[in-house]
């Protein structure tokens, strides 16, 4: 949802004022807080911890960053509110929550925008994707430092799942954001928004029939114990974004901004590299388990993609630019 004009005006002034202040403020010791929804074993949380350690070392112990995993500070919508007021300093957020506030980010969720994890990694490091981040200060009061990701999205179900037709009528868990809701609605499924930490219990108690998920999370959380049919579809990327509160950013010195930006970006890049390197191995590990596996591709989802495009092409004007970047990646 877009912020109203006066809020936008306030944020623009805050950012501009920050630029002036930045020239004059001396470096101050800071105890930062970073929130995220993933649990300690997840690669995103490990990257947040590594970022905290790096900043501590490179600031000679002057700055510290306390990492709050597993939604300890609230869900992503609540964390964004805290970031906007400056009550929270930083977060690693799914782009899902960002796309609820800045619809152009929905472009990153175009079904089959990329064909594989290598293209996803290259796209998220491209200028076209990075350009999107420049909307965050004025549209959401956040400074977007860079992208990480989780793997491509797949479907797991308790019942038969041989192709998209079997999604009809299924209560299918999605991460709470609109582009994915519209995609599954177009398949005939009943998308059920639910944050990651709630998924295992919801599968166990029968509240949902199926889930939209990535290989890595399926393995970490052992979702296959509760839903043993998997449709390998690779239908969507799942980007994450590292952000700093705009209100906090404006009071940081130039050197501190540079330190946070460089260190956070290095960890986000390492997250992308991690998922890129491990994807095949994770798929093989899942194929080795007692799971019934089917596969689906872009053609199988053709009708749903056409529907999605009708809704999202007008809402996400960056889509052609991202598609152009993908074409360049494929050609290189």
Which residues make up the interface to ligand BEZ (CB under 6 A)? 37-38, 94, 150, 175, 196, 213-214, 217
Residue 72 or 85 with smaller CB distance to ligand BEZ = 72
- Closest approach of Cβ 172 to ligand BEZ, in Å? 12
> Per-residue DSSP letters for 300-319?
GGHHHHHHHHHHHHHH-TTH
- Closest approach of Cβ 171 to ligand BEZ, in Å? 16
The number of CA neighbours under 13 Å toward the Cβ of 264 is 22
* Residue of this chain nearest to ligand BEZ (CB atom): 175
Residue 32 or 92 with smaller CB distance to ligand BEZ = 92
Distance separating alpha carbons of residues 90 and 82, to the nearest angstrom: 10
Contact of 275 with 152, CB cutoff 8 Å: no
- Closest approach of Cβ 74 to ligand BEZ, in Å? 15
Residue 59 or 175 with smaller CB distance to ligand BEZ = 175
Residues 6+ apart with CB under 8 A from 242: 90, 91, 92, 144, 145, 146, 147, 148, 264, 265, 267, 268
Contact of 172 with 192, CB cutoff 8 Å: yes
Residues 6+ apart with CB under 8 A from 264: 51, 90, 145, 146, 242, 244
Residue 37 or 122 with smaller CB distance to ligand BEZ = 37
- Closest approach of Cβ 232 to ligand BEZ, in Å? 16
- Closest approach of Cβ 233 to ligand BEZ, in Å? 14
Residue 18 or 148 with smaller CB distance to ligand BEZ = 148
| 212 DSSP β-pair partners | 155
């Amino acid at each position: 949802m877009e912020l109203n004009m006066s809020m936008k005006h306030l944020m623009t002034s805050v950012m501009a004022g920050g630029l002036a202040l930045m020239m004059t403020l001396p470096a101050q010791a800071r105890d930062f807080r970073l929130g995220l929804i993933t649990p300690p074993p997840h690669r995103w949380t490990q990257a947040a911890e590594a970022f905290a350690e790096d900043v501590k070392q490179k600031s000679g112990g002057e700055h510290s960053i306390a990492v709050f995993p597993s939604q300890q500070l609230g869900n992503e919508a609540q964390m964004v509110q805290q970031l906007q007021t400056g009550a929270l300093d930083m977060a690693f957020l799914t782009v899902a929550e960002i796309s609820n506030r800045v619809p152009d980010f929905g472009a990153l969720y175009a079904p089959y925008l990329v064909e594989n994890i290598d293209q996803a990694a290259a796209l998220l490091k491209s200028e076209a994707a990075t350009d999107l981040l420049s909307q965050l200060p004025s549209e959401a009061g956040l400074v977007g430092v860079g992208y990480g990701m989780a793997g491509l999205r797949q479907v797991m179900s308790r019942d038969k799942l041989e192709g998209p037709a079997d999604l009809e009528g299924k209560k299918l868990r999605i991460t709470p954001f609109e582009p994915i809701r519209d995609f599954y609605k177009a398949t005939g499924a009943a998308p059920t928004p639910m944050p990651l930490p709630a998924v295992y219990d919801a599968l166990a108690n029968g509240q949902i029939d199926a889930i939209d998920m990535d290989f890595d999370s399926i393995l970490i959380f052992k979702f296959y114990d509760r839903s043993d049919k998997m449709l390998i579809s690779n239908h969507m990327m799942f980007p994450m974004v590292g952000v700093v509160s705009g209100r906090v950013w404006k009071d940081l010195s130039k050197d501190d901004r540079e330190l946070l930006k460089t260190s956070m970006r290095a960890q986000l890049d390492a997250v992308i590299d991690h998922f890129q390197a491990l994807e095949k191995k994770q798929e093989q590990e899942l194929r080795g388990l007692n799971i019934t596996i089917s596969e689906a591709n872009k053609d199988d989802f053709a009708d749903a993609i056409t529907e999605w495009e009708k809704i999202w092409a007008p809402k996400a004007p960056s889509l052609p630019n991202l598609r152009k970047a993908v074409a360049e990646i494929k050609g290189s």
